[in-house]
Amino acid sequence: MIEDQYRARHPRLVKAAAAIERQLREYLEGTPHIDRVSARAKSIDRFVVKANKNDENGFAKYSDPLSQIQDQVGARIVGFYLSDIEAISTVVKRYYRPIETKSLVPDTEWSFGYFGKHFILLMPTGLVDNRDEEPTPEFFELQIKTLFQHAWSEAEHDVGYKPGTNPLTSDEQRQLAFTAAQAWGADRIFEELSKR
Amino acid sequence: MPITHIHTYLVHPTKGSTNPPETGGTEVGRSGKMFDLLEGIYDRSETECDIAISFNHAASGNQQNDCRDLILTYLQGPTVRRGQHIAKRLADATTHRSHLGLLFLIAGQEGFDHKIVVSRFPADSGILAEESAGGLSVEFLEKVFMKSAKSYKSVMYRHRSFNTGFWEGKATDKQVNSLDISIPNYWIAEFLDSDFRTTSAAGTRRLANAIKEAGKKATRASVKSEIAAAATLATGFAGRKLSAKGFVRSLALSQAAQDAIYAELKSGVVDETFQFDAAEFGRVISYRSVELDNGGMLTAEVGDFDGVFQRQQLKDGDRIRFSTEGKIVSEKLGKAKQ
């Protein structure tokens, strides 16, 4: 049921993602140290998996996944250095209306893992034709990361969530944390070197 | 009948007040002349409220807004008490400059959608004249509330989901519509803790792109010239709150020029209000001018300048020869340079 509903709206999400990507590229023209700008519609498989997730108490996490899941369209901007993240964020805030802004960091100073800046933004008006019965989602997610944050999260997602494999052992998780710490350190060093 | 509840409150201006009076409120019945008036406001809000706005997120960055929370709490079980929190919030945002106001909360159900219209009528004074068999009696009234007054304000929210919806609304604020940038925007910015849905930069860039493309595509010289003039005059709108339609109309462009600009804008964005950003406009449309010592001046859009004018370095020192070719589409006389 939910899969059919999402499948029906998916072509519109693909169009919206393409339009968002074009728009972001236009807005970021002239902003230095941009490695890549991309946007995608969440795949049908991934949406269905997310829509059926349970919360920590075992109850369905989403009562209305089609309106509650806000990253059906997701965009990502990868910049070179840490200071570029703020410069890119400033451009983003100039053109889009956020309903959420988060800098994601590990829970404690003693742990290393995912770092990145996330926005939930209102879908701009006039981006896609809204005359069809099926509306475009009201929001999209935008992630802004450095090259090292991006590289780490992509590789971590690949090895950490591989379908059909056993969960990572404690030691393997520690190894991932070690690579996250190295990426964090590399960002710091390149930030300093970029200011020479 | 889509309207389910109506509550009203007398809102005193208490911003900065150390001892604000209690905000009194009552329920309004769903019949009679008063109801007919409010039902009209509720129904017309779909078209009358034409400024697209959205709530700001919390200072922490979380997906939360105090005013949205109050509206959602009220809508999920409308009571005088719950509405009173909204009235108090409005009182706290109202200065004495805005005087006393009468607030109406009109909640309803439209199919699967929950809907609320929040309206503030400003207080005024008036004279009640009543004819009787023997003549006429007149009475001075101090607290008269008139929807037609200049500072009448309203906002409408409609969505099916209390959970993820109600981030966007449509407002009307006659003070904003006046284009007077000196008027503090307490209704949208302070009371609703919201901003225009379209940011200054996004709205301005969209308009600038439309003007630029319309100018390029126009085939008639007079239309091209009008559009170029509109681009030149645009910087005078700096800081003004307007829509693309408002911009075009205020310049009294010909219908052909208006149509050319509208054709470059997607439906639904022509009426969207934003604050004009002159710097952003200049990022899209800017001209490069070169002045020569023989009195000649060459002007073209920055990105096109080198393509439009061919430059040739002459043997004679620093002298340059520019050449270009095209059809004359307009010719102007201007004031001599001082």
pLDDT attached to residue B301: 75
Contact B35, A103 (CB under 8 A): no
Q: Which phi and psi angles does B61 have, rounded to 5°?
A: 95, -10
Chain B nearest C-alpha distance from A94 (Å): 6
Say if residue B58 is exposed, middle or buried (CB neighbours under 10 Å; 0-12, 13-18, 19+).
middle
ipTM summary value: 0.89
In the numeric block, which tokens belong to residue B119? 């309206």
pLDDT at B45 over 80: yes
Chain A nearest C-alpha distance from B114 (Å): 15
Question: What's the distance, Cα to Cα, between the start and end of chain A in Å?
Answer: 57
- Map tokens 């909204």 to a residue: B86
Rounded distance between C-alpha atoms, residue B299 and residue A136, angstroms: 43
pLDDT attached to residue B300: 81
CB spacing of B206 vs A126 below 8 angstroms:
yes
Pairing, β B51-55 against β B25-27 = unpaired
Rounded distance between C-alpha atoms, residue A191 and residue A195, angstroms: 7
Mean pLDDT confidence for A22-50: 96
Rounded distance between C-alpha atoms, residue A167 and residue A151, angstroms: 21
CB spacing of B167 vs A100 below 8 angstroms:
no
Contact B154, B48 (CB under 8 A): yes
pLDDT attached to residue B182: 44
How many inter-chain contacts (A to B, CB under 8 Å) are there? 73
Range in A1-10, A12-21, A28-37, B118-127 with the lowest mean pLDDT? B118-127
Chain A nearest C-alpha distance from B199 (Å): 6
CB spacing of B202 vs A63 below 8 angstroms:
no
Range in B113-122, B186-195, B232-241 with the lowest mean pLDDT? B232-241
Angle at B121 between CA B80 and CA B139, to 5 degrees: 105
pLDDT attached to residue B78: 97
H/E segment holding residue B210: helix B200-217
Chain B nearest C-alpha distance from A175 (Å): 32
Contact B125, B27 (CB under 8 A): no
Residue B114 or B304, more confident: B114
Q: How does pLDDT run across B212-271, given as a tens digit for each residue?
A: 999 889 888 788 888 888 888 888 899 999 999 999 999 999 999 999 999 999 877 899
Q: Considering only CB atoms, which chain A residues are within 8 Å of B165? A: 67, 138
Mean pLDDT confidence for A23-50: 95
Residue B303 or B222, more confident: B222
Closest CA in chain B for residue A70 = B164
Angle at A109 between CA A107 and CA A110, to 5 degrees: 100
The rounded percent of chain B whose pLDDT value lies above 70 is 93
Q: Choosing among B63, B166, B271, which should be mutated to test the A contact, i.e. which has the most A CBs within 10 A? A: B63
What does the mean pLDDT of chain A come to?
92
Pairing, β B168-173 against β B3-11 = unpaired
pLDDT attached to residue A178: 95
Contact B53, A99 (CB under 8 A): no
CB spacing of B195 vs A120 below 8 angstroms:
no
In the numeric block, which tokens belong to residue A107? 């829970």
pLDDT attached to residue B178: 55
Residues in A lying within 8 Å of B, measured between beta carbons? 27, 63-64, 67-68, 70, 94-103, 120, 122, 124-127, 129-131, 138
In the numeric block, which tokens belong to residue A121? 């933004």
Quick check: pTM over 0.90?
A: no
Among B63, B198, B265, beta carbon nearest to A120: B63
Q: Choosing among A15, A95, A96, A132, which should be mutated to test the B contact, i.e. which has the most B CBs within 10 A? A: A95
CB spacing of A67 vs B161 below 8 angstroms:
yes
pLDDT attached to residue B136: 86
SS3 A163: coil
pLDDT at B89 over 70: yes
pLDDT attached to residue B120: 92
Q: How does pLDDT run across A59-105, given as a tens digit for each residue?
A: 999 988 998 999 999 999 999 999 999 999 999 999 999 999 999 88
The rounded percent of chain A whose pLDDT value lies above 90 is 73
Chain A nearest C-alpha distance from B44 (Å): 22
pLDDT at A33 over 80: yes
Q: How does pLDDT run across B14-42, given as a tens digit for each residue?
A: 887 778 778 889 999 999 988 998 999 99
Length of chain A: 196
- Map tokens 């009235």 to a residue: B87
Q: Considering only CB atoms, which chain B residues are within 8 Å of A64? A: 161, 163-164
pLDDT attached to residue A56: 86
